[in-house]
Structure 1
Amino acid sequence: MTITTSSLRAHLLQSLSTLPNRHDLGLTILVSKPKKTASIFPHTPIPPKCLQQDFLIVLSSDLPSNANIKPRDQGSTDAPSSSTSTNLPEQDESPKKVSVSAISANLYTFPSSSSRASSILYVSKVDSSGYSPSVLPLTRLLIVSFFNFFLLNVQNVRIQLFARSQNQYLFANSSQGGGKKVLSGAGLCKWWKNVYEESVISYISSISKDPNQKREREGGEIKLNYLLPGYEEVESLNLLGKGKDLPEGLKWEYKPPFDDPITSTGNANTNNTTNLRNLPISLATLIPSLPDDPKTRFLEELVTDTFQQNPNPLKSRQQTQQKEGASSSSSASTSTSTKKSKKEIELEEELNQRQSSHIALSKIDKNEFWERIGFRQECAGDVTGFFTLETTGEDNINGVVGSKTGTSKVETKEDTNEQHSTTGFSIPPTVTDVVDPITSLDPESEKVSVDQPKDIPISSNSTSNSALPFKSTDRPEPVSKEPLLRIEIINRLLTALTNLDFANLTLAIEGSEIWLKQVNSIVKGEIGEKSSEGCSGVIPRKMNLPDSGEGAGAGLVRKERQEEKVTMLMPRKKKKI
């Protein structure tokens, strides 16, 4: 399923329109067109067929025209020059805008032979600027609404993120000014856990009110799991607390993400029997490599360390084969090599690299991987956490994720653990893959050969703990008639946003204005003026709200907090006898 800008825009506007906001809120929704990618599983020679979509959502707010704002860091080097006033100009009656929240995310879809594909929604970065004129939790509300869109519209989706406390992610220097509150590692993990719980509660409430959604989702499952690297489950409960009361039958599981398969294969295509290779069970097909994620960097380091310690088995094997081939038919091999294009040679080299990486990662046990990741720099300092929310459908065919043939709907924790251990996402030693190395590794190629096999034969042993993340009879992805942006455009605008300075409110206003104009110009030139209008929306301010709410610009004029008076108990003097 291709996510369109109009559908996401309509959902976010409808969800946020119920807010008691005293100021106009602006939404900028940037969605890329689906693009083939092989980078999500870069360490296996048989990467799954995967389509990637990128999302950048920015929420801005109008500011009160009568506000007189002074930045906190007037004496810093980041303060504007003397020619720039630090107060909002009184002669300009048009409201000023400032970006208050932003989300950067990626959707990875694995098409299957059934009508429902498996997807990973990876939340790469979320940030707030701290300059919101509202006391409403706009960032939280935006994320919950964003999550619910995918829960309601994408079957078999995993919402995945890695929580790590930083001063800023998308709004540079925003921790220096405004009212931004940087949470500790434990505080941030607790915040994300609550966001996930709110999303689940809202999702269940939505489908219970919609008969069509309720009928379509009947028989499905919702799974919540999290892991704080380096901490036991009891310690995590002490750090994060109990949380919200979840619906009956739903609870958190303390386990690592991607402990079970994303997708599974259907019937094998055995027409082509060339390029046969036996591949061992490996982390290369279990743990995806997601952008700016510690798992990705750890996988890379494990591959590099293995290559440094042990010689490349594939390289020596190829050298032996080349010597044998040279002695028998040197002239034929020479003529064949000269016919290869530069692109074919590069793809063959990539295939060899992927095979070597797959073998290297097969030597690492998954339990060891998750234990060691807790000692890495990203996870060893403050508290960090992996959070997963997964919806699965029980009526899918051919073993797509969530199907549990021969099992009941209600299962105990022991049953769940047993199931995970028998359906692990990896390649068994008995599997023989059949793949065209040239076309299968080329994410840019739009042509698929008729004779090209799209997956590998799977052992008939039903107890095998492995499956490859793609299907043999992939249905073509429906092409959206709505024009979408190229991924390169979204990356460019994301970089432009992170290059702005949010050290004080004046700089934040200027930067927000520059970025919004840049978005309007680039998007208009990319998809046309009419389509670019659909990439933004406004949530009008509510009139006649009671004063007990936000107040007149509450939260905008950031006054310095008065020092709290601490009353100390005076020691009682002993009475003289």
Structure 2
Amino acid sequence: MTITTSSLRAHLLQSLSTLPNRHDLGLTILVSEPKKTTSIFPHTPIPPKCFQQDFLIVLSSDLPSNANIKPQDQDSADAPSSSTTTSLFEQDESPKKVLVSAISANLYTFPSSSSTASSILYISKVDSSGYSPSALPLTRLLIVSFFNFFLLHVQNVRIQLFARSQNQYLFANSSQGGGKKVLSGAGLCKWWKNVYEECVISYIKLKSTNSTKEGEQEEGIRLNYLLPGYEQVESLNLLGKGKDLPERLKWEYKPPFDNPITSTGNTNASTNSRNLPVSLATLIPSLPDDPKTRFLEELVTDSFQQNPNPLKQRPQQQKQGESSSGSASVKKSKKEIELEEELNQRQSSHIALSKIDKKEFWERIGFRQECAGDVTGFFTLEMSGKNKINGDVETTISKITGETGGEKNEQSSTIIPPIRPTTEIVDPITSLDPESEKVSIAQPKDIPISSNSIPSSVPASQSTDRPDTIPKEPLLRIEIINRLLTALTNLDFANLTLAIEGSEIWLKQVKSIVKGEIGEKSSEGCFGLIPRKVDLPESGGAGLVRKERQEEKVTMLMPRKKKKV
């Protein structure tokens, strides 16, 4: 299923509209169009068919015109002074905006021959600037709402992240501003564990409000985490008990991707046809900026240094043999030679990773630099089973996607894309190149789809680089989102003045680029507003204001004091 900007925007606005916010909140929702990728499994000869969508969600807030601004989670003397803040508003009477929270994520969808695909939602980066004028936990609420959207609308999804404490990820120098609290490694892992629990609890409450229809299958929710280098007992002491989860739901202490992704079965069949052994290459995906990815690369590199790849010389030897055999042989093009070299490289990498046991892999990763210094953690929320969609949202999505030529499930009104014949022959060399427009002779050439228009006359079964179900509303190119993400990380949030200036520049840049990419009317759907609430009590209302941290009670044996005579 392709996620559309309008459906995600509607969900986030609806979730955040219940906040007792005293200042206007702005949402920027950037969603990319699906793009075929092979980078998620780069060490196997025939990677599974996978489509990638990128997301960049940024929350901004208006600042009050008075000088009494208290940065979030901070009672420090480093907070902006009253005189500094007042001078910012003397230049312009319009309210100033500042970016307060941001999420960068990737969705990997693996189409299946059945009606249900599998997906990985990878949370690449989450950060807060520390300049929110409200005490509301905006970052936490934004993440929970973001997670719940995918639990509601994506079937068989795994929400995966790697928690590692850093001063900043998306807002450069924001730790110097005086309003940002940087958690320790154990504190960050505990925070993420609570976020996952809050997400599951709120999702189950939301689903329980809807009556279960007859014939609807039970959903399976699984939670697991791993702190590399620590035993389970040690992890419990570090993270604590956590929230009370619903019945029959508990955390499991095990590594992520302990079992293969459902849709990779065709990949295993393909590798078996090549007489290749079972390998980590088809079990552990290579996600961006993730220690697992770097460790897999190092294992392959070390293996090649110890045992040089004998397949590297094959294309050159075959090329020499063809040139000496005369006109009977067909000379390969440069592109074909490069693709064949890549195929041989992947096959050798697959064999190299097959010699590493998965238990050994997870034990050794705890000694790596990313995991050895401070406490780090892998967290997974896995949802399986038939996932029903709320009726209102479902109607909205149907209006957006329109008629796709797919069939409707009798138990659900969600669109199921037409299934391709299983007898389709796939060229393994061509399939390794996601950007290639080469197709078989029996199929017409795929028509490029621009970001401004999507042709509806091309049958979905003829497209080789895009999912079967394509929304009619335009989406951004992945390159555009990467460009705007880079622009965000290049801003300076060292103090409130720089944060306001950088926020204004970035928001104007986003509106200009998105407007030029998908048009003025479509670009309006990438932005949303949560109006401020008036007549709120002084406490902020609804009990959502962050409470001051209390001293934890520690039970331990104490020496008994002697009584004075």
Which TM-score band (shorter chain)? 0.7 to 0.9
Q: CA deviation at 1:215?
A: 6.1
Contact 1:69 1:88 in 2 (8 A): no
- Tell me what 1:298 maps to: 295
Count, aligned residues: 485
Report the Cα distance in structure 2 between the residues aligned to 1:364 and 1:292, rounded to whole angstroms: 22
- Tell me what 2:417 maps to: none
- Tell me what 2:220 maps to: 221
Counterparts of 1:395-434 in structure 2 under 5 Å? none
- Tell me what 1:502 maps to: 493
Report the Cα distance in structure 2 between the residues aligned to 1:326 and 1:187, rounded to whole angstroms: 62
For 1:387, give the aligned amino acid. Answer: F
Report the Cα distance in structure 1 between the residues aligned to 2:517 and 2:266, rounded to whole angstroms: 41
Report the Cα distance in structure 1 between the residues aligned to 2:268 and 2:532, rounded to whole angstroms: 58
**In the alignment, is residue 283 of structure 1 matched against residue 280 of structure 2?**
yes
What SS does structure 2 have at the residue aligned with 1:105? strand
Q: CA deviation at 1:476?
A: 5.0
What SS does structure 2 have at the residue aligned with 1:115? coil
For 2:255, give the aligned amino acid. Answer: P
**In the alignment, is residue 101 of structure 1 matched against residue 101 of structure 2?**
yes
For 1:96, give the aligned amino acid. Answer: K
What SS does structure 2 have at the residue aligned with 1:388? strand
Counterparts of 1:105-504 in structure 2 under 5 Å? 105-211=105-211, 218-264=217-263, 277-315=274-312, 330-332=325-327, 335-337=329-331, 340-393=332-385, 436-445=427-436, 448-449=439-440, 477-504=468-495
Contact 1:274 1:435 in 2 (8 A): no
Report the Cα distance in structure 1 between the residues aligned to 2:156 and 2:502, rounded to whole angstroms: 39
Report the Cα distance in structure 1 between the residues aligned to 2:274 and 2:109, rounded to whole angstroms: 27
* Residue ranges of structure 2 left out of the alignment (5+ in a row): 388-424, 444-463, 547-560
C-alpha RMSD of matched pairs (Å): 3.4
Counterparts of 1:15-94 in structure 2 under 5 Å? 15-67=15-67, 87-90=87-90, 92-94=92-94
Contact 1:113 1:266 in 2 (8 A): no
- Tell me what 2:514 maps to: 523
- Tell me what 2:7 maps to: 7
Cα distance, 1:17–1:352 mapped onto 2, change above 3 Å = same
What SS does structure 2 have at the residue aligned with 1:143? helix
**In the alignment, is residue 548 of structure 1 matched against residue 547 of structure 2?**
no
Q: Report the TM-score when normalising by structure 2.
A: 0.79
Cα distance, 1:342–1:317 mapped onto 2, change above 3 Å = closer
User: Which 10-residue stretch deviates more, 379-388 or 170-179?
Assistant: 170-179
Cα distance, 1:526–1:285 mapped onto 2, change above 3 Å = same
Report the Cα distance in structure 2 between the residues aligned to 1:110 and 1:435, rounded to whole angstroms: 16
* Residue ranges of structure 1 left out of the alignment (5+ in a row): 396-433, 453-472, 556-571
Deviations 1:425-464 (A, max 9, x none): xxxxxxxxx8523221011235653879xxxxxxxxxxxx
Contact 1:69 1:505 in 2 (8 A): no
What SS does structure 2 have at the residue aligned with 1:120? strand
Report the Cα distance in structure 1 between the residues aligned to 2:326 and 2:360, rounded to whole angstroms: 49
Cα distance, 1:537–1:375 mapped onto 2, change above 3 Å = same
- Tell me what 1:569 maps to: none
Contact 2:228 2:365 in 1 (8 A): yes
Cα distance, 1:87–1:304 mapped onto 2, change above 3 Å = same
User: Which 10-residue stretch deviates more, 541-550 or 252-261?
Assistant: 541-550
User: Which 10-residue stretch deviates more, 87-96 or 53-62?
Assistant: 87-96
Contact 2:162 2:290 in 1 (8 A): yes
Report the Cα distance in structure 1 between the residues aligned to 2:271 and 2:17, rounded to whole angstroms: 58
Report the Cα distance in structure 2 between the residues aligned to 1:8 and 1:54, rounded to whole angstroms: 13
- Tell me what 1:427 maps to: none
Report the Cα distance in structure 2 between the residues aligned to 1:488 and 1:191, rounded to whole angstroms: 32
Contact 1:194 1:243 in 2 (8 A): yes
Contact 2:165 2:182 in 1 (8 A): yes
Q: Report the TM-score when normalising by structure 1.
A: 0.78
Contact 1:112 1:474 in 2 (8 A): no
- Tell me what 2:422 maps to: none
Report the Cα distance in structure 2 between the residues aligned to 1:126 and 1:27, rounded to whole angstroms: 15
Report the Cα distance in structure 1 between the residues aligned to 2:150 and 2:467, rounded to whole angstroms: 21
Contact 1:257 1:388 in 2 (8 A): yes
Report the Cα distance in structure 2 between the residues aligned to 1:535 and 1:326, rounded to whole angstroms: 55
Contact 2:69 2:133 in 1 (8 A): no
For 1:347, give the aligned amino acid. Answer: L
Report the Cα distance in structure 2 between the residues aligned to 1:189 and 1:217, rounded to whole angstroms: 35
User: Which 10-residue stretch deviates more, 281-290 or 307-316?
Assistant: 307-316
Cα distance, 1:326–1:479 mapped onto 2, change above 3 Å = closer
Contact 1:46 1:435 in 2 (8 A): no
The share of aligned pairs that are identical, in percent, is 85
Report the Cα distance in structure 2 between the residues aligned to 1:216 and 1:244, rounded to whole angstroms: 32
Q: CA deviation at 1:490?
A: 0.1
- Tell me what 1:512 maps to: 503
Cα distance, 1:261–1:215 mapped onto 2, change above 3 Å = farther
Report the Cα distance in structure 1 between the residues aligned to 2:513 and 2:268, rounded to whole angstroms: 44
